[in-house]
Structure 1
Amino acid sequence: MPTRTSPWNRAAASDTMAAPPRDVTAAVRVEEAITFRRLEILLAFMETGNLARAAEKLDTSAVSVHRALHALESGLRCALFRHEGRNLHPTDAAQALAEVAREVLRGMTEGIRSTREVAGYSADRIRIGSLYSLTHQTVPALVMGMKLRKPDVQTELVLGSNADLLQKLRDGSVDAALMGSPESAADVESEPLFEDDIFFAAPARSRYAALQEVDLSACAEERFVSLSEGFVTYGGFLESFRIAGFTPNVVMKTGDIFSLMNLVSGGIGCTLLPGRVRSVMPQDVQFIPLQPRYLMRQTIGLHFLRTRERDPNLLALLAVCRLARAKPL
């Protein structure tokens, strides 16, 4: 005899069956007619109660406000307003939508703010990368300039070589970098600050000290010290010796320009250095110009990603740099 199943048992059985997969996309889909801008217009109209005043508040036209409200009604497929002559009066449905719109726009505004903060865009801090050689004059002047323009923005300084700073710029570790202009960097925006010549640096009592200029081709037997690969000065160092026609005897490399100056001061070897460090050179180091054929010139500037060109903090820093260029540091 067949077993009969009660409605309660059938219900229980159906509860134990796997539910069909949910279409998450369909659950969160919103009509294209319902946009943030139209919700903003709705709120402006609800607050002012008048098409013209709402248009003035949002710097648009009354016709545009009317069209936006009508588009919202079409997207929702229900009436939001009663027409009484030329006037629109919000219904309870409009009040309900306005309440939700306030929460949506508030949440989106906060989401945009936090997203930008994570990306470093318009945050309460700015991370500036710099070459070691710029920390004596250039960096302090620009930091003071930023303090005047953006007193609430904290400045963080990150030091490194040109190659290090370019990588940090691209991976978001710094917001801007003060360094030599990189080659083949189409993703980077540059604002030149100044140009700097390269000099021959030797101990003050060396045979080069009395010379008016140095012929690098006569230095093949000399010992040299240099910066590590990746520094903009290292690139000029190699290029100058390429023109001189020989590979220098580099007895030691270092990772910052101040250590390099101390190596020269200690008599470890000679080197090539940019003119901007002349004022902080040890007294027993002599700067001698190179012969014109070996002259290398660096362009030092502010660099940042083109995708960040509208960041308010970077725009402020850019303005400070332009002022500094007009009044040399």
Structure 2
Amino acid sequence: MTTLRNAESYDSIDSTEMRILHALSTTGSLTQVAATLGLSQPAISQRLKRLEQRLAVPLIERQGRGVRLTPAGQILADHGRTVVAEIDAALAAIDDLRGDRGGVLRMAGFPSASATVIPRLMRMLQEQAPQVTFQYREQEPPEAIQLLRDGEVDCALVFQYSESEPLPTLFEFTPLWREEMWLVVPEERSQGMERAALSAFRDDQWIAGCTRCRGHLTRATKRHGFEPEIVQETDNMPASIAMVAAGNSVSMVPGLALAAQPTLPAGARALRLEEPEYRTIGLINVDTANESPAVKLAKRLLGNIDGSTWNLLTERVAR
């Protein structure tokens, strides 16, 4: 005849109690079980007592200085062996999804970061999360944000100028570093200059970068009373620097681009601006209540990179 059980009995055993009984079956000692599971001995005794009350059957009995399982306790311990193994396997799989031991981190980033920050991040991944597959796509910020919007990447390393439009509410921006902008000029134009004043180059021809960089250049020169005559355009910073060295144009170049190319071609010189211009480098991701393991991993690792290697100023406390 089938015995009907009340609703309370269906949830009368939890995984910790199964672990306790399984451990007792192999050790026979509450002290050793406590040490193995990281619980106090009184807490283990109380849990077993409450379980016995719920099941209305004794589970352990004294044997000399130790304890042994009753037949009912042994039944639970035998089944508990399988239950504990399944739970451990499930937790290991979840760890993989967290990115701590496996999974995929998909990231986009802008070109000058590709030669500086990204290789450092890749080394950290190899050291701290070697089972994580790193997928990277080089894109300027607008295109990187579109990849994020389309769900093709988990996060993107982007830059923002102070005048940039705020991000849509869909996204979260985590600032990492502040990057100084430099002026790269023909060597003969820099004679006697320690720093560059933008206004001193009002009559020069200019090289512009990506859409965001061009917008920033135009706004910066406007503050100094002139509109730049842009004659060349390229997103390729090494190419921009080479063009300066080859002709009479000047270019506003981010610090990371100079860090990636520490030796300038003959004929070009990099100068700090008298009135510094900056942009902020940070990580952007979709703003959700439950942040993905991949994004958490990227934030943790990037937050621990020392940007001073490339003359970047830290924008926040490292994680």
Secondary structure in 1 matching 2:38: coil
Shift of 1:179: 5.1
Partner of 1:16: none
Secondary structure in 2 matching 1:270: strand
1: CA distance, partners of 2:295 / 2:88 = 17
Shift of 1:273: 0.2
2: CA distance, partners of 1:237 / 1:262 = 19
Q: Would you say the 8 A contact 2:102–2:129 is kept in 1? A: no
Partner of 1:321: 305
Partner of 2:191: 210
Of 99, 111, 114, which residue of structure 1 is paired with 2:93?
Answer: 114
Of 278, 291, 298, which residue of structure 2 is paired with 1:297?
Answer: 278
Summarize the Cα distance change of 1:133–1:82 in structure 2 as closer, same or farther, 3 Å threshold.
closer
Q: TM-score, normalised by structure 2?
A: 0.64
C-alpha distance after superposition, 1:66-85 (max 9, x if no partner): 2222344455x352514348
2: CA distance, partners of 1:311 / 1:89 = 48
Secondary structure in 2 matching 1:60: coil
Of 25, 43, 47, which residue of structure 1 is paired with 2:26?
Answer: 47
Q: 2:253 corresponds to which letter in structure 1?
A: L
Q: 1:58 corresponds to which letter in structure 2?
A: L
Shift of 1:272: 0.8
1:198 matches 2:176? no
2: CA distance, partners of 1:82 / 1:148 = 47
2: CA distance, partners of 1:90 / 1:219 = 88
Moved more, 146-155 or 31-40: 146-155
Q: 1:225 corresponds to which letter in structure 2?
A: I
Shift of 1:61: 0.7
Q: Would you say the 8 A contact 2:180–2:255 is kept in 1? A: yes
1: CA distance, partners of 2:53 / 2:230 = 76
**Number of equivalenced pairs:** 292
Partner of 1:23: none
Q: Would you say the 8 A contact 1:128–1:157 is kept in 2? A: yes
Secondary structure in 2 matching 1:173: coil
1: CA distance, partners of 2:295 / 2:28 = 36
1: CA distance, partners of 2:51 / 2:253 = 66
1:270 matches 2:254? no
1: CA distance, partners of 2:186 / 2:311 = 29
Partner of 2:113: 134
Secondary structure in 2 matching 1:283: coil
Residue identity over aligned pairs, in percent, reads 18
Of 7, 13, 17, which residue of structure 2 is paired with 1:38?
Answer: 17
Summarize the Cα distance change of 1:54–1:80 in structure 2 as closer, same or farther, 3 Å threshold.
same
Of 205, 208, 222, which residue of structure 2 is paired with 1:226?
Answer: 208
Shift of 1:291: 4.4
Q: 1:277 corresponds to which letter in structure 2?
A: A
1:79 matches 2:57? yes
Q: TM-score, normalised by structure 1?
A: 0.63
Residue segments in structure 1 that go unaligned for 5+ positions in a row: 1-27
Q: 1:321 corresponds to which letter in structure 2?
A: I
Q: Would you say the 8 A contact 2:107–2:136 is kept in 1? A: yes
C-alpha distance after superposition, 1:244-300 (max 9, x if no partner): 24554545544443454455456595321023333356615623435423x213455
2: CA distance, partners of 1:222 / 1:319 = 40
Shift of 1:136: 3.6
Q: Would you say the 8 A contact 2:101–2:129 is kept in 1? A: no
Question: Which structure has the larger Rg?
Answer: 1
Q: Would you say the 8 A contact 1:224–1:248 is kept in 2? A: yes
Q: Would you say the 8 A contact 2:102–2:131 is kept in 1? A: no
Shift of 1:126: 5.3
Secondary structure in 1 matching 2:221: helix
Shift of 1:153: 5.8
Q: 2:74 corresponds to which letter in structure 1?
A: Q
